Amino acid sequence: MISTQYKIILPSDYDMNIIKDRVRNNGYKTDGFDDLKFKLYLVTEKGVNNNLQNSYCPLYLWKDSNGLNKFLFNGFYDNILNSFGWQRVNIGIPLIDTTTSKIKENKYVFQISGEIQPQASLNNLKEKMDEEIPKIDNTEFIVIYNPDKWTYEVFYFLRDLNNLGTLTGEIYSILHISQEEIPY
C-alpha cells in the first residue's frame, strides 16, 4: 500500500465554504476509485479546534501504485492543479493499519508526527512503534512512515474529540470519505 497527501495552505481569510461546496459537489467522484482503499477529504479552519490556518489536505490510502498513477497522470489530479497550482504530493508507506469499513462513521482525523531515530537495527520497529504511540480508546488509526526522511505520521479516526485528553497534534474535519467498493 501507498499513502499520499497534499496539504494546500489557504489564506487566513479564505472562505472555507468554497472547499466545502467543492467536496459536496465532487467528493463522490472518487467513491470506488481503482485501487483506492480510502480518500479522506480533510480541512483545517483557522480558529476551529485550535488550528492556526485554513487548509485543504486530502489523505489517500492506495492498494498499489496503479490507482495512484491513474489518479495523478490520467487527468484526475488536474482539478487540483487547475484550482490550486502545483502541489507537492507527500508519499508514505503504511506500517500499521487498523482501519475497517467503520472509518465512514468518523468526523475528525487527529494527526501526530514523529521521527524514527537512527538505530542499529530496524528489526521489530513495527512492534516497538505500536507499543509507544499513544492509544485512544475505541479508535482506529494508521501509522505511515517515510524512509526518505525517517519520519512517521499517526492518523487517528475519531467520531468526536472527547478522548484526546492532553494529546497535542493537528485536528482535521472530515468533509467526505471515499472508500473502495465493499461487496455485500
Q: What would the pLDDT profile of 21-64 be if each residue is shown by its tens digit?
A: 999 999 999 999 999 999 999 999 999 999 999 999 999 999 99
Domain 2-179, CATH among 3.40.630.10, 3.30.70.100, 3.30.1050.10, 3.30.300.130: 3.30.70.100
Mean pLDDT over 122-150 rounds to 93
- Residue 117 DSSP code: -
pLDDT at position 184 is 40
174-178-181 Cα angle (round to 5): 150
What share of the chain in percent tops pLDDT 90? Answer: 88
- Residue 174 DSSP code: E
**Rounded Cα gap, residues 19 and 46, in angstroms:** 14
**Rounded Cα gap, residues 177 and 56, in angstroms:** 14
pLDDT at position 69 is 96
What share of the chain in percent tops pLDDT 70? Answer: 98
Is 0.75 topped by the overall pTM? yes
Mean pLDDT over 6-27 rounds to 96
> Mind listing the pLDDT tens digit for each residue in 92-132?
999 999 998 889 999 999 999 999 999 999 999 999 999 99
**Rounded Cα gap, residues 73 and 80, in angstroms:** 12
